[in-house]
Amino acid sequence: MKDWQRLSVAAFVCWALAFGAESLRLAHAVVSLYRTNDRLEAAARTLDGRSREIVGLAKQIRSDSEESEFLNRLPNFLPQDRSFLRTQHVIAGEVADLRRKVGQRLRGSLHIVVDAKANKLYLKKGLKLLWKADCSAGRGGTLVDPKTGRRWEFVTPRGEFKVIGKTENPEWVKPDWAYVESKEPVPPPEDPVRKVAGELGAYVFNLGDGYLIHGTKREDLLGQPASHGCVRLGAADLKKLYDSVPVNTKAIIY
């Protein structure tokens, strides 16, 4: 076989191999394309189903909203409407009368109000709200000393109190229950080990009977019942209260 014939054969073989490889690559690409198309169609069907669910939910929400509006309008055309309005008028009158009586009793004085259930502290002048803050009132529950049988209940008392004193940088005199709670021996009453600095924050208000308004190291718990009976405030609000409230200010806790 002549040289040019051998070259022709070699060229043809190379072309055939290249053509075969390219054909194989194209076949793989076509298969991959079909698979991708199948996945896209499945995803489209899923999205379509979810879209129909969302449309259904939107219709349900709209229906519920219309029903709620209907119920809100119901008193306006029911036969009992006049009685309902009379009741509302009486309640509004009673509230206004109570506010008037409370205003007369307070006579525009500065006072602290603590909602121990909502864990909110309010500073008011008469009926006017000056500011409010999250606080932590008593968490509830009891502690019993297994040795002596003594019991402590961790609730904030309700009633009318008075700020009988206020102090900067107070030391906490650790009470017996704190040692019982931590399962430590209870030291004598005058033992200096009971004095702990920094536990009550920068300021403290004495409401009497061992109950205080003071700071806390757990400001993340403000707004929740977390204390052993005292009222806890965050550092900024405690400073504001200290600067605003003199001794003998009333404190109403409910």
Q: How are beta strands 110-115 and 250-253 bridged, if at all?
A: parallel
* Beta-sheet pairing, 110-115 with 120-125: antiparallel
Distance of alpha carbon 12 from its chain centroid, rounded? Answer: 80
Please choose, from the candidates 209, 108, 203, 205, the residue with its C-alpha nearest in 3D space to the C-alpha of residue 158.
209
pLDDT of res. 77: 45
The model's pTM: 0.60
pLDDT tens-place values along the chain, 254 residues long: 556 566 666 665 666 666 666 766 766 666 676 677 677 677 667 767 776 776 666 676 666 666 566 555 545 544 455 565 556 666 666 656 655 665 666 668 999 999 999 999 999 999 899 999 999 999 999 999 999 999 999 999 999 999 999 999 999 999 999 999 999 999 999 999 999 999 999 999 999 999 999 999 999 999 999 999 999 999 999 999 999 999 999 999 99
How big is the CA angle at 237 (ends 207 and 197), to the nearest 5 degrees?
65
Taking only the tens place, the pLDDT of each residue in 173-192 is 999 999 999 999 999 999 99
Inter-residue contact 252 to 207 (CB < 8 Å): no
Q: Which CATH fold topology does 108-253 show?
A: L,D-transpeptidase catalytic domain-like (2.40.440)
Q: Bridge partners of 125?
A: 110, 128
Q: Are 213 and 237 in contact (CB under 8 A)?
A: no
Q: What is the domain partition of the chain in residue ranges?
A: 3-74, 78-104, 108-253
C-alpha to C-alpha distance for 11 and 4, rounded to whole angstroms: 10
Give the residue among 63, 39, 59, 35 at the shortest CA–CA distance from 47: 39
Residue 135 near residue 122 (C-beta atoms within 8 A): no
Residue 53 CA to residue 58 CA, distance in Å, equals: 9
